[in-house]
Structure 1
Amino acid sequence: MKNKRYNIKNLEELHARVCSLKAENELQGAALVKDTKAYLKQFTFGSLIKKYATPSAFLKIDDKLNISSSVMSLALPLLMNSTLFRGSGIITKALVGLASGKVGKALDGEHLSAIFNSVKSWFGKGKKKQEKGEGYVDYGIPPDSETY
C-alpha cells in the first residue's frame, strides 16, 4: 500500500480529512457490495436457466455435438420401455429401444421446441375470441349497396 502525504496543518483539517476518508470508505464499500451482488446474481439458478436453456445455446454446441439428440437417444428408450411397454417381452423392448434411439438422434432443439409449442397450443385454445361487438348485427347488406 502506498503512503499518501497530506498537508494537514491543524486539528480541524485532520478531522475534516478523517471524515472525508470515512465517507469515501462507505461509498467504496457500498459500491463493492453492489458489484458483488450483481456478479453473484449471474450465477443463480434462474439466470443460468435463462442463459443456457434456449434451444440454440443449450441444445446445440456445434454441428457435430448435439446435446439434445444425445440425451434424447438415451432417455427416450428408457422412458418408452418403463411406461408404455412395461409388460412386454425382451424382444419388443429391444426393438422399441432401437427405434426410439434412432428417433431420439433425429430430434434437436428446434424440433423439441416446435413439438412443445404445438402441444402448448392445443391446450391454449380454451376461449374463442369474439370478432364483432355484441350490438352489431349483420343483415347481409353489402356496404357499397344503395340501401346501406
Structure 2
Amino acid sequence: MSKKYNINNLHDLNIRLTSLKVDYKIQETMLKNDAKVYVTQFTPGNLLKKYATPSTFLKADDKLNISSKLMSFLLPVLMNSTLFRGSGFITKTLVGLATSKFGKTLDAEHLTGVFNTVKGLFKKKSKLKSPAFADYGIPPDSETY
C-alpha cells in the first residue's frame, strides 16, 4: 500500500522528513525499552525470583522428595567433618548411619520451619515509636483561636 503525501515544495518535504525522523526516534526508544524488559526477564536473578520460590520447591519436593535425599547425604558429611573430626572410623560410621536415617525423615516443611525459627532469632525487633506531636486542641486556623 503506497501512501500519498501532499508535498508540493521543499518546505513540505522538510516538514515530512522531520516528522519521519521523530517517528523513527520514538520507535527506536520503544524498541530499546521493550528489549530491556525482555532481556531482564531472563536474568539469573529474575529467574530465581520467579521459579525458586518456597511454594514451587515444596511442590517439587512432594513429588521427588529432594530435600530428604539431599539431607541424608549432606548431614553425615557435615557432622563427620565438623563435630566428629578427630573421631575414629567406627564412630564416624555410626554417626554417618544415624544422621543419614535422620536426614531421610527431614523434608522441605521441616527445613523451612527450622530456617524461619533461626531467622526469627536474628531478626531485629522494631521498637514502637510514639508520635512526635499529638495535639488534640483547637487548630490554629480556627475562629476561636
Shared fold (TM-score, shorter chain, > 0.5): yes
TM-score by length of 1: 0.67
Q: Matches of 1:98 and 1:40 in 2, distance apart?
A: 47
Q: Matches of 2:124 and 2:19 in 1, distance apart?
A: 64
SS in 2 for 1:61: helix
Q: Equivalent residues in 2 for 1:1-148 (5 A)?
A: 4-10=2-8, 11-61=10-60, 63-124=62-123
Q: Matches of 1:4 and 1:106 in 2, distance apart?
A: 73
Q: Matches of 1:101 and 1:6 in 2, distance apart?
A: 80
Identity %: 57
Q: How far is 1:62 from its partner?
A: 5.6
SS in 2 for 1:9: coil
1:59, 1:109 within 8 Å by CA — same for their partners in 2? yes
Letter in 2 for 1:6: K
Letter in 1 for 2:119: K
Q: Which runs of 5+ in 2 are unaligned?
A: 129-145
SS in 1 for 2:63: coil
2:76, 2:99 within 8 Å by CA — same for their partners in 1? yes
Match of 1:144 in 2: none
Q: Which runs of 5+ in 1 are unaligned?
A: 131-148
1:77, 1:100 within 8 Å by CA — same for their partners in 2? yes
Q: Matches of 1:9 and 1:120 in 2, distance apart?
A: 71
Q: How far is 1:8 from its partner?
A: 4.5
Q: How many pairs are equivalent?
A: 127
Q: How far is 1:115 from its partner?
A: 0.4
Larger helix proportion, structure 1 or 2? 2
TM-score by length of 2: 0.68
Q: How far is 1:23 from its partner?
A: 1.4
Q: How far is 1:79 from its partner?
A: 1.0
Q: How far is 1:86 from its partner?
A: 0.8
Bigger drift between 98-107 and 26-35 goes to 98-107
Q: Matches of 1:80 and 1:112 in 2, distance apart?
A: 17
